[in-house]
Amino acid sequence: MNHMSLNEIDAVLKDQTSRWLDIASGRESFGSGTAAEQSMRFQMEQLLPLTARRCRLQLDPALKGDVDALVSLVGMSPQTTIMISEAMRPKRVLLVTSANAGASLQSIESWFADPQRDWHAPEAESRLIPPTDSNATGAVVREWVRRIRAQVPGARIVFDATGGKKSMSVIAGMLAVELGIDVVYLDSTYDPSLRMPRPGSEVLVPIPIPR
């Protein structure tokens, strides 16, 4: 997969998306469990590596280069954090999440720990914070950023504001402005027939800090 071109990935994605829909509807099986459990497993094991690779191949020139640290908001889906991590390949990651997103956090940590990844897994830390507690989020992020900058003078730090609740994204934006951190967002095209973003439509975009 690491040597596949964008066109090759798109062709495989088309076939795999069709198969994923068959699994979700019960027309095909993928291991044990309910149709929903099987389709989620297929999505994580078969679709996600392709969409993550595609996202990296289409990375905006402004986002290329070494990333010393990534702050990522984690919601009910682990996929945005995983795709952004695969695309930018940070050396360190702070996962900011709430107590009800434990399954997502576990999926991300398992992904990082997988020895089959073709890049060195980041040093990952996680913090559980109520999604509307701006003071707690601010304290955690400020301290982590301060520590990174003390360890790596001139560190390039990026804030992923994609996951989590909207309240968390608002807090992320305010902190990014305060701390002078670059912000990224994983954009995608919603597909009404799938009732979710269309696999392969994900694009990582930089969000300029207002000056």
Q: How many C-beta atoms surround the C-beta of residue 208 within 10 A? A: 8
80-99: pLDDT as tens digits: 999 999 999 999 999 998 87
Q: What is the pLDDT of residue 70?
A: 97
Strand ranges inside 28-138, DSSP E: 69-74, 92-97, 123-128
Tokens 């269309």 -> residue: 198
Q: How many C-beta atoms surround the C-beta of residue 133 within 10 A? A: 15
* In a shared domain, residues 17 and 71: no
* In a shared domain, residues 203 and 102: yes
Q: In which band, very low, low, confident or very high, does the pLDDT at 10 lie, cut at 50, 70 and 90? A: very high
**CA–CA separation, 153 vs 124, rounded Å?**
20
Q: What is the pLDDT of residue 94?
A: 97
Residue 11 lies in domain: 1-57
Q: Which residues contact 64 (CB under 8 A, 6 or more apart)?
A: none
Mean pLDDT of 58-69: 93
* In a shared domain, residues 37 and 107: no
**CA–CA separation, 12 vs 26, rounded Å?**
21
Total tally of structural domains belonging to the chain: 2
Q: In which band, very low, low, confident or very high, does the pLDDT at 169 lie, cut at 50, 70 and 90? A: confident
Q: Which residues contact 89 (CB under 8 A, 6 or more apart)?
A: 67, 119, 122
* In a shared domain, residues 46 and 88: no
Asked whether the predicted pLDDT for residue 124 surpasses 90, the reply is: yes
* In a shared domain, residues 126 and 144: yes
Asked whether the predicted pLDDT for residue 51 surpasses 90, the reply is: yes
* In a shared domain, residues 98 and 18: no
Asked whether the predicted pLDDT for residue 1 surpasses 70, the reply is: no
Asked whether the predicted pLDDT for residue 193 surpasses 80, the reply is: no
Asked whether the predicted pLDDT for residue 127 surpasses 70, the reply is: yes
**CA–CA separation, 159 vs 8, rounded Å?**
31
* In a shared domain, residues 98 and 173: yes
Asked whether the predicted pLDDT for residue 102 surpasses 90, the reply is: no
Q: Residue 158: helix, strand or coil by DSSP?
A: strand
Which CATH number does the domain housing residue 169 bear? 3.40.50.10770
